[in-house]
């Protein structure tokens, strides 16, 4: 399934990982990483997983709807503690009411709270958005800055949010370590680190910068569709031959297939306006079926 990806030269010698190709559910695949896998072998396996994911999800993309850096920044702040779907169902009304940082900074807090209520923690999020848009208006001429150092100084904006905005609105390579990304890279034994900043540093060392943004999308796509937190669908997972955690979830192919989500499971996606190459159905608007 894999082919070489430009910009990801293979390091040195033998892969140290058994070849894929055993049938789904085969017992021979469980615990398939050698006990003492060398760093070189792990890097080769990690890059191979990235190439496989690129073939499985050629349409991987950020799952927040946005039309400009300001909308992406706001949507990412709103996405804390909720799903991208819920954010996407909420932002059309929010951006209709406050299309620019100037408009948002002048909002009546109670009115904004009502609009973003479906995303949860709406009082704290309203406070962040008011502070954020006032800072954009007063310190950055109403524009979202394209530098990490500036972005993380904005109210409610951490490193993760800043990387999402840099990677997807400014084309600056960034690794976004969210709950899915952290879980999957630990299952794949790329690292045992729990701290997102340390995970980011480890992964940045494995891949060239040119891969960082798309790798982040692919890993999150896989975590949302197949490698779920509680019930990973191992029996329907195309990268099972490369995964040392195969068997942590359902290995029966038929039962595993029923666990697949979004376009993989024939369900709508998270975006109301997905990119044209997305093979699934768009998400419904708020209140629709």
Summarize as ranges the residues that interact with ligand SF4 (CB under 6 A): 187, 226-227, 232-234, 237, 239-240, 243, 245-246, 248-249
Please indicate whether residue 231 is annotated as part of the active site: no
Handedness of CA 85, 100, 172, 128 (dihedral sign): negative
Instruction: Kindly state the smallest distance separating residue 193's Cβ from ligand SF4, in Å.
Output: 18
Please indicate whether residue 178 is annotated as part of the active site: yes
- Shorter beta-carbon distance to ligand SF4: residue 177 or 237: 237
Alpha-carbon distances, residue 190 vs 9, 175, 186, 258 (angstroms): 18, 14, 6, 28
Handedness of CA 218, 221, 227, 230 (dihedral sign): positive
- Shorter beta-carbon distance to ligand SF4: residue 73 or 185: 185
- Shorter beta-carbon distance to ligand SF4: residue 45 or 125: 45
Instruction: Kindly state the smallest distance separating residue 213's Cβ from ligand SF4, in Å.
Output: 21
Instruction: Kindly state the smallest distance separating residue 195's Cβ from ligand SF4, in Å.
Output: 22
Instruction: Kindly state the smallest distance separating residue 107's Cβ from ligand SF4, in Å.
Output: 42
Alpha-carbon distances, residue 66 vs 58, 186, 188 (angstroms): 20, 30, 31
Catalytic residue selected from 127, 150, 178, 189: 178
Tokens of 252: 């029966």
Nearest-CA neighbor of 24 among 242, 249, 253, 248? 253
How far, in Å, CA of 76 to CA of 84, rounded? 9
- Shorter beta-carbon distance to ligand SF4: residue 199 or 237: 237
DSSP state of 281: B
Please give the positions annotated as active site: 160, 178
């Amino acid at each position: 399934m894999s082919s070489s990806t430009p910009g990801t030269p293979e390091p040195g010698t033998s892969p140290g990982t058994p070849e894929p190709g055993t049938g789904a559910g085969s017992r021979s695949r469980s615990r398939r990483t050698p006990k003492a896998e060398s760093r070189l072998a792990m890097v080769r396996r990690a890059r191979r997983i990235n190439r496989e994911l690129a073939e499985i999800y050629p349409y991987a993309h950020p799952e927040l709807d946005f039309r400009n850096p300001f909308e992406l920044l706001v949507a990412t702040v709103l996405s804390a503690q909720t799903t991208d779907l819920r954010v996407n169902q909420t932002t059309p009304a929010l951006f209709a009411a406050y299309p620019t940082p100037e408009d948002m900074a002048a909002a009546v807090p109670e009115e904004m709270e009502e609009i973003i209520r479906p995303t949860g923690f709406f009082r704290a999020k309203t406070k962040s958005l008011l502070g954020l848009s006032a800072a954009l208006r007063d310190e950055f001429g109403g524009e979202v800055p394209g530098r990490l150092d500036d972005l993380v100084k904005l109210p409610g904006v951490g490193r993760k949010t800043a990387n999402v905005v840099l990677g997807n609105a400014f084309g600056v390579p960034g690794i976004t370590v969210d709950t899915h990304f952290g879980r999957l890279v630990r299952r794949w034994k790329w690292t045992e680190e729990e701290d997102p900043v340390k995970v980011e540093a480890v992964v940045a060392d494995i891949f060239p910068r040119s891969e960082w943004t798309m790798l982040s999308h692919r890993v999150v796509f896989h975590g949302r569709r197949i490698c779920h937190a509680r019930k990973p669908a191992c029996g329907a997972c195309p990268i099972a031959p490369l995964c040392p955690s195969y068997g942590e979830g359902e290995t029966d192919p038929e039962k595993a297939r029923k666990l697949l989500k979004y376009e993989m499971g024939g369900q709508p996606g998270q975006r109301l306006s997905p990119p044209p190459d997305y093979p699934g159905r768009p998400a419904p608007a708020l209140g629709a079926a």
